[in-house]
Amino acid sequence: MYFSKMHGLGNDFMVINGIDQKIVISSLLIKQWSNRHTGIGFDQLLLVEKPKDPEYDFNYRIFNSNGNEVEQCGNGARCFGLFLLIKKLTNKKSVTVRTMKKKIIINFMPDNTVQVNMNEPILKKVQTPSLYKKNSNNFSIQLLNNNLVCGIVCMGNPHCIIKVECIKNAPVKKIGKILEKDGIFPNGINVSFMKIINKNHIKLRVYERDVGETQSCGTGACAAVSLGIAQRVLSCNVQVDLIGGTLMIKWNGFKHPLYMTGPATHVYDGFIYI
């Protein structure tokens, strides 16, 4: 079975063409392949499939390194788009893709970056009715005998955003590990730590559910920026600095789609015997 290794700002993927070859995958195989010592090593596996609906060009499936299928991956979407180009699966400048729960549009930019229309973020009442407070984008969670103030955003997958004063010393692993499987969040949650530099610039670290801290998280960047814009502490165009590099996020507010723009990198092609 042939595959490609790709990454978006260090968030790395195994990408498989499920259109032109027979595919054999399972949770056990994904765990083996994702192992960075004895396997290929990756954060997520991305699967390209034929669309089931003529409205779409492709079907896009995402599996975390532990084998669980998830709803969305922003960095993966850019790599998914680049994969379509380099494997000559499309010659369009824009493709419409179906994820587990949403439609996204991938645009190929003249500067070789990839832009993704991530749809409108969903704020408030995101899987957390017990936390919801009227006319507020902040929630309070009891954690380690303290009240943790955070924001909850859905970008197709759920995100908890915590503002911090120092990004370097943020308790990413400690708090992320507790919150990702907290009973408040029925389907688990990704946890982002955001340092606001100014209205057009933030720094971000993300603990992804089932994976741990990653070099970059596209949906985490989108969620953090959308929360900041909703709270009027960020402008509509924001530079997001992650460990692996920089993304540009643009959102004109409610009733408008959010756009994420950044690079995608093809590392190598390979094959495995099943």
Q: Is 78 helix (H, G, I), strand (E, B) or coil?
A: helix
Outline where 88-217 has alpha helix (H): 172-179
Outline where 1-73 has alpha helix (H): 27-34
| Identity at 123, one-letter amino acid code | L
Nearest to 181 by CA among 219, 129, 143: 143
- Catalytic annotation, residues: 73, 217
| Identity at 170, one-letter amino acid code | A
Evaluated on CA atoms 213, 70, 234, 262, the torsion sign reads positive
Cβ(60)–Cβ(48) below 8 Å: yes
Cα 26 off chain centre by: 22
